[in-house]
Every structure is written in structure tokens, then in C-alpha cells.
């Protein structure tokens, strides 16, 4: 069965989900991102790989951080960038998603970065666009957030290069988290031998074990001897009814404090996709502490999104070209 994310030559055409992407593509994205990290340290923070291209950020759902990092990434690649908060524009006047996309195609858009509250929205658009146009999923419903999963993997690889010898714990609202799904697929595809999920039963998908993870309901046993702790945001806006007793009770049981972190390995790192709910998912002393790599995650997110866009628009030599562009 053909993978809609790859072209006939096996190169990346769209980035819709980490699920189904081969290991070589994930590694290629991470390796290409490595070449872009240094761009931010230059006096002129630009390379010309997307000069003359138009990138449209189509955000049917709000997300300041994701939209901003995609904008910065595209501009550093010298693309022209159009960012639309579609909820306050044509969609509110009754225009369909495909009408919006068709109008932008008529304006010669080359790439769409799509965020939507409905799972499968980016896939729907990708099926509709002509072959020369590329689609990146910037988060769809509970389904997937591939660039967040990739930037988390990039961050882990920077601090823990030996992925084949890691124990990783993902903690919190796995049920509603598209980030968790992307992280699990990325970790298992790249050969991380043990992935744990730690959460109350009400915040875990049914049969989550089929994703290749070990399930824990207790932080003390789940965090023991792990190398990486990935905290998840409580997705209160996606919860129907009372799934938790209270924020205070949740923090007491599943919030990451220094005492709980001490159960992990002494050199364990802490990640969080943001935005953080301090005092609910994570204590400020941990979020701001020496084991936290939460701010580097944001920095690396720009390089990873640059890598994805460069690979989509420029083929497979983007990394080497970036390194040679002074």
C-alpha cells in the first residue's frame, strides 16, 4: 500500500503523521535539523532554500507557539509567509476548508501548514492539493502532532545520543494528547527499547499497550530508573465531564516534583511540549531546574520545522545545502 506521505521515489511529500514513516525518513529529518541549529547563531539568520516559495499557515485552531515557530522557520528559509487565523476570517463567513485552500492555491501557494481541531483535517487537504503542493500537519484533534514529536526526539538525541539504550516515561493526559501519540510512534520507530506511559486509567486510551508501551498508574514505580521524563499538558478543553477529582489532587499524584524526579536516573532530562500548567503537571522548581530541557525544546523546534519544510520543497540535499550557506 502506498504511503501518502511519500512520493514515488520514497521522498517526503507531506508530513501528516509519524505513524507509517520509515526510520530512514525520521533520521533524515533529525540529521537535516542538525544542520539548521547553527543558523540562529549567525548575524543574518537566513538561508535561501525556500526563496520564491509561499508558505501558508492555516490555523483553524489557536496555537501561538506552534504558529510562531513555523513562521520563524519559514522566514529563516527565505520563504514568503502568510499566516491565517481561519476562525476569524473566511470560515466564520461559511466558506469550506477546501474553498479556502483552493483560493490560496489560486494565489500560488506552495506549502500549507495546517492545524485543526478535527482529526484527519491535514490528510483531507493533502488528498485534495496538486502534486507540487506540500502539506504539514501542525496538530489535528487527538490524532497527531508530528513536528512536536520530531522536535522532542531531536531534543532527546541531543542530550541522550544512544537511543537504543534509553528508558522513556510519558506522563499525564495520554488519552487526549496528539503529542503523546506522535512521541510513542517516533520513539518506537527509532528503536528506543522501553517506552512507559504513566497516567490514571481515565486518561489512557483503551488498549494503549498495543502501541508498544508499558503502562503504569503509579509515579513511583513508573519513574524508577528512567532516562527521560516527558510531561504532558492536561487537555481540559478536550475533556467531557469530570475525568479528574481536582487539579490539586492531580498534582499530588501525577505532578512532577523534585522528589518524584529523584526516582529517575540522576542525569534524567525533563521535557514538556507546553504550554505548562505549573503546579498542576509540573512544579516550578523542576520546570526551571537543571534537568529541564523545556526551553531548548522550543529552540530546536525551529530547526526541526526548517528541516521538514526544506526537505519537502527542496528534495533530499537540504541539510548539506544549509551547512554550506554562509
Q: Hey, do 23-144+299-324 and 146-297 end up sharing a CATH topology, with the first three levels equal?
A: yes
- Asked whether the beta carbons of 13 and 288 are under 8 A apart, the reply is no
Element (H, E) at 124: helix 121-128
Is 274 within any annotated ligand binding site?
A: yes
> What is the per-residue DSSP string for 130-198?
-TT-EEEEEEETTTB-HHHHHHHHHHHHHH---GGG-EEEEES--TT-HHHHHHHHHHHHTT-SEEEEE
pTM comes to 0.91
Is 64 within any annotated ligand binding site?
A: no
Burial string for 38-56 (b: 16+ CB within 10 Å, else e) reads ebeeeeeeebebbeebbbb
pLDDT band at 235 (very low <50, low <70, confident <90, very high): confident
The DSSP bridge partners found for residue 122 are none
Rounded mean pLDDT, 173-186: 94
Is 196 within any annotated ligand binding site?
A: no
Is 51 within any annotated ligand binding site?
A: no
Residue 325 has pLDDT above 90, yes or no: no
Quickly count: other Cβ atoms within 10 Å of residue 240's Cβ.
6
Is CATH 3.40.50.1370 correct for 146-297?
Answer: yes
Is 53 within any annotated ligand binding site?
A: no
Q: Return the CATH number of the domain spanning residue range 23-144+299-324.
A: 3.40.50.1370
Is 172 within any annotated ligand binding site?
A: no
Query: pLDDT per residue over 253-310, tens digit each?
Result: 999 999 999 999 999 999 999 889 999 999 999 999 999 999 999 999 999 999 999 9
Query: pLDDT per residue over 8-39, tens digit each?
Result: 999 999 999 999 999 999 999 999 999 999 99
* Owner of C-alpha cell 466564520: 92
The domain ranges of the chain are 23-144+299-324, 146-297
Is 66 within any annotated ligand binding site?
A: yes
Whole-number percent of the chain with pLDDT over 70: 90
Cell of 259: 522528589
How far apart, in whole angstroms, are the C-alpha atoms of residue 66 and residue 88?
Answer: 18
Amino acid at each position: 500500500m502506498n504511503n501518502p506521505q511519500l512520493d514515488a521515489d520514497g521522498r517526503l511529500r507531506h508530513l501528516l503523521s509519524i505513524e507509517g514513516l520509515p526510520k530512514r525518513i525520521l533520521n533524515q529529518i533529525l540529521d537535516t535539523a542538525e544542520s539548521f541549529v547553527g543558523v540562529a547563531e549567525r548575524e543574518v539568520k537566513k538561508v535561501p532554500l525556500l526563496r520564491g516559495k509561499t508558505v501558508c499557515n492555516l490555523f483553524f485552531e489557536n496555537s501561538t507557539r506552534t504558529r510562531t515557530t513555523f513562521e520563524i522557520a519559514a522566514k529563516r528559509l527565505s520563504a514568503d509567509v502568510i499566516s491565517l487565523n481561519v476562525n476569524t476570517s473566511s470560515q466564520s463567513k461559511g466558506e469550506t476548508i477546501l474553498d479556502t485552500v483552493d483560493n490560496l492555491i489560486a494565489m500560488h501557494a506552495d506549502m500549507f501548514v495546517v492545524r485543526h481541531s478535527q482529526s484527519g483535517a491535514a490528510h483531507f487537504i493533502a488528498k485534495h492539493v496538486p502534486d507540487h503542493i506540500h502539506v504539514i500537519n501542525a496538530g489535528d484533534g487527538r490524532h497527531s502532532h508530528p513536528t512536536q514529536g520530531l522536535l522532542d526526539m531531536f531534543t532527546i538525541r541531543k542530550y541522550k545520543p544512544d537511543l537504543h539504550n534509553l528508558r522513556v516515561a510519558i506522563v499525564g493526559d495520554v488519552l487526549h494528547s496528539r503529542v503523546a501519540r506522535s512521541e510513542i510512534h517516533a520513539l518506537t520507530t527509532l528503536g528506543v527499547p522501553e517506552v512507559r506511559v504513566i497516567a490514571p486509567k481515565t486518561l489512557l486510551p483503551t488498549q494503549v499497550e498495543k502501541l508498544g508501551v508499558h503502562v503504569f498508574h503509579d509515579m513511583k514505580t513508573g519513574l524508577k530508573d528512567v532516562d527521560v521524563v516527558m510531561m504532558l499538558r492536561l487537555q481540559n478543553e478536550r475533556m467531557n465531564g469530570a475525568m479528574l477529582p481536582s487539579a490539586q489532587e492531580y498534582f499530588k499524584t501525577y505532578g512532577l516534583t523534585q522528589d518524584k524526579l529523584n526516582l529517575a536516573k540522576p542525569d534524567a532530562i525533563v521535557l514538556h511540549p507546553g504550554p505548562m500548567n505549573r503546579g498542576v503537571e509540573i512544579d516550578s522548581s523542576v520546570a526551571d531546574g537543571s534537568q529541564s530541557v523545556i526551553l531548548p525544546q522550543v529552540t530546536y523546534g525551529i530547526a526541526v520545522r526548517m528541516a521538514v519544510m526544506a526537505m519537502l520543497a527542496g528534495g533530499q540535499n537540504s541539510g548539506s545545502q544549509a551547512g554550506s550557506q554562509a
